[in-house]
Chains A and B, each alone.
Chain A
Amino acid sequence: MSFLPQIVFLIIFGLAAWILAKRVKFLNRNIHLGKGTTRNDQTDARWKTMMLVAFGQQKMFKRIIPAVLHLFVYVGFIIINLEVLEFVLDGILGTHRLFAPFLGGVYVAAMNFFEFLAIAVLLSCVIFLIRRNIVKVPRFTKPEMKGWPSMDGNLILIIEIVLMLAILTMNATDQILAERGVEHYLALGGLAFSGLIQPLFEGLSDMQLIIVERAAWWFHIVGILGFAIYVTYSKHLHIFLAFPNTWYSNLKPKGEMENMPEVTNEVNMMLGIPTDNPNEPPAEIARFGAKDVNDLTWVNVLNAYSCTECGRCTSECPANITGKTLSPRKIMMDVRDRAEEVGKSMDAGGKGLEDGKSLLGDYITKEEINACTSCNACVEACPVNIDPLSIILQMRRYVAMEESGSPAQWNSMFQNMETSFSPWKFSPADRFNWAEKVKEEEIK
């Protein structure tokens, strides 16, 4: 027997692993363009959030139809990947259906279940394609979804469909060969779903069947390796990053805006309040708020790489609903695009962050961030606990404190607050006037 297929397999497998390792390094570095922040407290709550939201798909179930379809694809993905383990071992060892003899009836039951999942995945993907391209669900047709993002969404569905067809074809031809008693092939006693397409291949000779079976096998395994690499370039990174992303969720009340301790020190000094360590010189503050991707935290950038571009945030955003340019999904896509741009430039020995561009300005406009009501609808809606609001508010800080570039009406609000301690221009002396009337009334 020739070892050629095994050698070819090992080369392909090794190559895929090498490319993947490089991609992981690239992505990890990009995420860490963001500033350090610690989110390692309350580990119990973090595990629980991850299990519920990422593993348990809790937030998906706010919309039942996509939730069920997505669940099929998700469960299918995880479980069919168990089969890939056998594929890889078969590929390396030159065996065929390595586990079958050991597992016996369990193996047949498992194969039937995998086939059921393959069909469920296939149908779900077809429905998803229809929702995107024929029904045109509004959240998939927003301006930020033009071009690559929409192509990416469709491509992955088509790849999944083709991969599932390959599994079914492989099983169907494999079983005809086994029934004909061809050496190497094991009869599993009839597989429920691929059995249905067996008649398509009955007319082929043994040799032709072997070619189809092998082709489907190779197509499937190479397809899966290719898919794994493709995922790292795509919004489908969420299938891996949803887990760390939910683990690092913001566990504080949604209304609480992150404090800036560097400001507290200065405020305390201005008000003459003793600080904790008065001898410590004030920290060197690089920049207040966020202008570019490196001013955000790495959790913000991780959020961006975990975004599925599903648009649930945008479809709940009051600003977007009423036609403003703000779209929380676009904010996340912009952060990712900017991180990619900077990362690629750094790898090519280019200018990186010093390319004269910045996230705010070149990607995100002030008009967008000014329109946010900080209502947290986007945060609530996101199935993987992404927080677009955090990014928007950090950018507002940059505009207000570094540029004094807030809208004029906000600047006058700031002034009112400084001079009369109210956002409106009323005399502080009149603050208690409301009580006059009540005090004159008799209790009934």
Chain B
Amino acid sequence: MGRYVLRRLLQLVPVFIGTTFLIYFMVWALPGDPLAGKCGDQACPPAFIERMRLEYGLDQPILVQYLSYLGGLLQGDFGQNFRGQDVGTLIANTYPVTIKLALVALVIQAVIGLTAGVLTGLRPGGYLDNVVLTATLFLVAVPVFVTGYVLQAVLGLRLGLIPPTVPSDPGLFDLIVPGYVLGSLSLAYVARLTRTSIAENSRADYVRTATAKGLTRNRVVGVHLTRNSAIPVITFLGADFGTLMGGAIVTEGIFNIRGIGGLIFESIQRLDGVVVTGVVVLLVMVYLLANLLVDVTYALLDPRIRLD
């Protein structure tokens, strides 16, 4: 197990270099000049452009820029953006909010999705099953920004139950509605995935054996059935955590959450390659580590699965 985790961690190194390289070059390839628009509607004076080019190494070939950026990154220095702000600080300011939001979304989709899935999976074709099938179909069909704007307008503006936007240092309660919006699509998938898995496994031999042994129904379903059926769901949730972090752009925009999504979006618009690269690298790391976490969880759920 230890060797396995170590190996997986070592695999991060080439991925790290590969992603930074690709992202850095892709941002550079975007049309437009990062210094344009810094002086309002007017052109910037040559002296200003000259100073900025020197300061940010824009006069160097792109490869040299990348290498010096990578050098800084290895020492934990994310560099400075074109506004003279430390990218590490920017990330430290925005990351916790997005993590919180993604975790809230994850918990919401796990709790609601798993419950709905287990309940419907045990009685496929029943009344509840049909209700959940329709509801999830609806969730899958409606885009995130529609859910977001509708909830914001109805709950926030017309009913006044929640503030329409999230304060700059949000508590868990503030994030429930945005978290639901963010997780709504995956919630539907989790419910359906669980339902299928439960429905299939409830006819499995080990369930029959457990029932034959005289175990209570609660124990059969709670421990034996659900635990085994949860494996594909856990895979999905783990991979989804990474997606939620990156996919928060729309939700964060609607609720004015100053998280990582907004930071990426604005930095792409401003051609701020240093910020984009830094954030994306972190997202990739989180994605990979979340996947590692999933693989390790397998061993807990099903002792037959060997990792090394």
Chains A and B belong together in one complex: no
Chain A residues close to B by CB (< 8 Å): none
Chain B residues close to A by CB (< 8 Å): none
